[in-house]
Amino acid sequence: MATITTTVGDVCADAKCAAKALARADTATKNAALEQIATALQERTEEILEANALDMQAGREAELGEALLDRLLLDEGRIEGIAKAVRQIVALGDPVGEVIDGHRLPNGLDVRKVRVPLGVVAVVYEARPNVTIDAAALCLKSGNAIVLRGSSSALHSNAALARIAGEAAVAGGLPQGCVSLVAGGGREELAELATQKGTVDLIIPRGGEGLKAALEEVATVPVIYAASGNCHVYVDADADLGQAEAIVLNAKVQRPGVCNAAETLLLHEQIAAEFVPRIVRALGDAGVEVRGDERVEALAEGAITTATEEDWGTEYLAMTLAVKVVRSKEEAIEHIGRYGSGHSEAIVTRDTESARAFQLGVDAACVYVNASTRFTDGGEFGMGAEIGNSTQKLHVRGPIGLRELCTFKYLVEGDGHVRA
């Protein structure tokens, strides 16, 4: 495995060499290497925990906040979960070589559209060290070499995880350089990675708007933005309010520091008088700070914070929720279109017409009817894991899994054919 003492250019060049061999690796070899990684994670748990403890201590001293510390934390259960996710990827079908389409032309040429690896994928991510393994496993299974660049807040955790994954992958039969890590500090290093046009085929940033903006300024390599999530839950006039309460609480409270957590709750005015006191009380009992508009303030039982214009566009990643009363589903859709980030949006309704209007009117990677936004996840979607959730439209939208880490080529076979 490349180390952080080598230059970014050298790391990427080594990864390019590895990618050529990886593209030819058969499924059995890739699966064996992934199984080696899962086993190594379990066997070297203590090593990982010691590294993570250093990052957690530094994070507390830097006052990162509870939500970010939760994203950073590794324990035995989470490491076991990471290893399980790797084995889930082993169990998935190999996308490489999959025939997407095929036909015979009138002139007798056979044309097949076949899935192939991208080559070298660089993943730039913040805080969450589990991404190190999720991203590596997905890239290796899809025949890609990976260059990892985590944040300084998870420096020790990422180094330990990348070292373990790289060593295990090579021991399992994959080429040296298939898993690489570059250091987590400095805009200069990020810019260097983002301009490796000759060696890096794709960069996927997984982080907030600051990381996205930093890459947009300098990147010459293609980028898929796994960006922030300003997600909404809209409770329609015809909603089952019991379902609505459960969905809102799950979307906000179950894990508030992640990109598919709800940040804004929209309520149809016809159910506001009944539902506002109920949901504000439930959110308060769960420890959530409610920031409401004037109508929510008037209906809430107890003091809440007054929402400002800034609140509607904020991804809190914390136990805070903005709440607004709207006149119609059309106003809810308009609000989401103005302030949403295109990640995950949900409607709670028993009316099929409202559900259909919401599905057609909301422009987001994932649109839910009567379900929590927290399901936007590669693992939950049966993809084993994900590198992130793309909020753009080309070439990937939604969870980035195995097939999304591939491109395709056309294989054309003839019998002495020449064009007239």
β-sheet bridge partners, residue 179? 146
Measured from the Cβ of residue 170, the count of other Cβ atoms closer than 10 Å reads 18
Comparing C-alpha atoms, which of 242, 311, 320, 261 is closest to residue 286?
320
Output DSSP code: residue 184: S
pTM over 0.75: yes
Comparing C-alpha atoms, which of 315, 348, 344 is closest to residue 245?
348
Q: Counting every residue, how long is the chain?
A: 420
Give 300-312 pLDDT, tens digit per residue.
988 899 999 999 9
Mean pLDDT of the chain: 94
Burial of 111 (0-12, 13-18, 19+ CB in 10 A): middle
- What span, in angstroms and rounded, lies between the C-alpha atoms of 169 and 175? 8
Comparing C-alpha atoms, which of 37, 194, 188, 212 is closest to residue 122?
194
pLDDT at residue 95 above 90? yes
- What span, in angstroms and rounded, lies between the C-alpha atoms of 335 and 103? 46
- Structural domains in the chain, CATH included, are 8-226+387-413 (3.40.605.10), 231-375 (3.40.309.10)
Q: Which residues contact 334 (CB under 8 A, 6 or more apart)?
A: none
pLDDT at residue 367 above 50? yes
63: left (phi over 0), alpha (psi -120 to 50) or beta: left
**CA dist 78 → 42, 75, 131, 134, 172 (Å):** 11, 5, 12, 12, 24
Give 134-153 pLDDT, tens digit per residue.
999 999 999 999 999 998 89
Give 161-202 pLDDT, tens digit per residue.
999 999 999 999 999 999 999 975 578 889 999 999 999 999
Provide the H-helix boundaries in 66-141: 66-72, 76-91, 130-141
Per-residue confidence (pLDDT) for residue 185, from 0 to 100: 58
